[in-house]
């Protein structure tokens, strides 16, 4: 890096400030070391369990860090977000904790369990027809009508700083163990950007990788080409949480500078990782939450004699799908 390199839109100091804001609100999720996983890797593996975060994914961190910075006088007008899953629940929970109204624009064919969970957290669910309506237009109209604040799911400096608190915890919980590499799932790139900011601030030599599902490897390709590539959004994927159409503008500005590269896993590799988590880690991990573990288990990069951090980003999976994944392994 030369001194001419432009400064990043989010800094490690922003992540530390978010960490203070989240104290007593987000769960400090465990960083586990499991002998069976060390054996599989031939090295040390530390597992950051964001599936054990509030509402079952890391999303609460970024949502709370964004919402808590809305001026008290503006809070009564509430927040609006669009999401079919984890961001919806993270925003709804943070809004409830701060006494704010929340409206979440969700596809009318979203899984009932996700809509029910979002409503159970006190949010208003605004359904829309995915084939005929634009969720962005609906959300912006609601914001204009209500004077509410739009909360993006990844391309926002406060959201990225909030997600980065998971990385700060990793560094603290590793207690000085040198971390060779960190594997993080990647949809829009907010979690991996935040974690990279936090980890590389104290450990510049640690390699941070974005892990994506096959077909949605837009980050991996963008990191090679140097410009924001698009995913083939017509492709099916098990990883419903990671189907962003391209890297965010802010997230890519960070990830381009801080990431080592991208890794890509197949649906079958994801299923195998979910079964490994069930059998050996005793953890429930959703498909999108299992891609980093899948990359490690499938040998997408060397792990022997190294210390690798794997982030399990969420556990919001339907019972029927989970049972099917377990059955596939028999």
The DSSP output letter for 231 is P
215 within 8 A of 229, measured Cβ to Cβ: no
> 113 to each of 50, 110, 316, how far by Cα in Å?
20, 8, 10
CB nearer to its own copies: pick between 42 and 302: 42
DSSP character for 69?
Answer: T
- 5 or 320: whose CB is closer to its own copies? 320
Q: Least Å distance between CB 246 and its own copies?
A: 29
Smallest separation (angstroms) from its own copies to the CB of 298: 20
E-assigned strand segments in 132-225 = 149-150, 181-185, 207-213
Beginning with the edge strand found earlier in the chain, give each strand of the sheet holding 79-82 in spatial order: 124-128, 102-107, 79-82, 149-150
CB of 284 to its own copies, least distance (A): 4
The vertex-277 CA angle with 308 and 309, nearest 5°, equals 15
**Cβ closer to its own copies: 27 or 298?**
27
**Contact predicate 254/286, CB 8 Å:** no
Please, which residue, 64 or 82, has the CB nearer to its own copies? 64
- As a whole number of angstroms, the distance between CA 149 and CA 6 comes to 29
Nearer to its own copies, 54 or 87 (CB): 54
Residue 26 vs 220, nearer CB to its own copies: 26
CA gap 111, 127 in Å, rounded: 12
- The CB-of-275 to its own copies minimum distance in angstroms stands at 7
Shortest distance (Å) from residue 205 CB to its own copies: 26
Minimal distance in Å, beta carbon 28 to its own copies? 9
Nearer to its own copies, 257 or 278 (CB): 278
Closest contact distance (angstroms) between CB of 175 and its own copies is 12
How far apart (Å, rounded) are the C-alpha atoms in residues 312 and 300?
Answer: 17
- Which distant-in-sequence residues (6+ apart) come within 8 Å of 79 by Cβ? 67, 70, 91, 95, 100, 101, 102, 103, 148, 149, 150, 151
Q: Which residues bind its own copies (CB under 8 A)?
A: 27, 30, 32-35, 51-52, 54, 56, 93, 275, 278-285, 315, 319-320, 322-323, 326-327, 329-330
């Amino acid at each position: 890096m030369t001194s001419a390199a432009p400064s990043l839109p989010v800094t490690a100091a922003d992540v530390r400030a978010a960490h203070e804001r989240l104290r007593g609100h987000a769960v400090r999720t465990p960083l586990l070391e499991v002998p069976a996983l060390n054996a599989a890797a031939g090295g040390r593996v530390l597992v950051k369990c964001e599936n054990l975060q509030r509402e079952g994914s890391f999303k609460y961190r970024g949502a709370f860090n964004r919402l808590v910075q809305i001026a008290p006088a503006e809070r009564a007008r509430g927040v609006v977000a669009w999401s079919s899953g984890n961001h919806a629940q993270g925003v709804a929970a943070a809004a409830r904790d701060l006494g704010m109204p929340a409206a979440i624009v969700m596809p009318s064919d979203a899984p009932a369990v996700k809509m029910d969970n979002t409503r159970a957290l006190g949010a208003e669910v605004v359904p829309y027809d995915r084939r005929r309506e634009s969720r962005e237009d609906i959300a912006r109209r609601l914001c204009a009508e209500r004077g509410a604040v739009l909360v993006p799911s990844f391309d926002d400096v406060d959201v990225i700083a909030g997600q980065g608190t998971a990385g700060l915890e990793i560094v603290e919980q590793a207690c000085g163990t040198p971390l060779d590499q960190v594997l993080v799932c990647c949809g829009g790139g907010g979690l991996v950007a935040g974690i990279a900011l936090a980890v590389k601030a104290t450990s510049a030599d640690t390699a941070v990788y974005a892990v994506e599902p096959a077909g949605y490897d837009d980050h991996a390709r963008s990191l090679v080409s140097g410009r924001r590539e698009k995913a083939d959004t017509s492709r099916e994927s098990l990883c419903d949480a990671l189907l962003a159409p391209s890297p965010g503008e802010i997230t890519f500005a960070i990830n381009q500078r801080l990431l080592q590269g991208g890794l890509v896993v197949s649906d079958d590799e994801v299923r195998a990782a979910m079964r490994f988590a069930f059998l050996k880690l005793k953890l429930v991990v959703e498909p999108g939450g299992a891609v980093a573990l899948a990359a490690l288990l499938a040998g997408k990069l060397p792990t022997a004699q190294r210390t690798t951090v794997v982030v399990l980003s969420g556990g919001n999976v339907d019972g029927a799908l989970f049972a099917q994944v377990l059955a596939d392994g028999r």
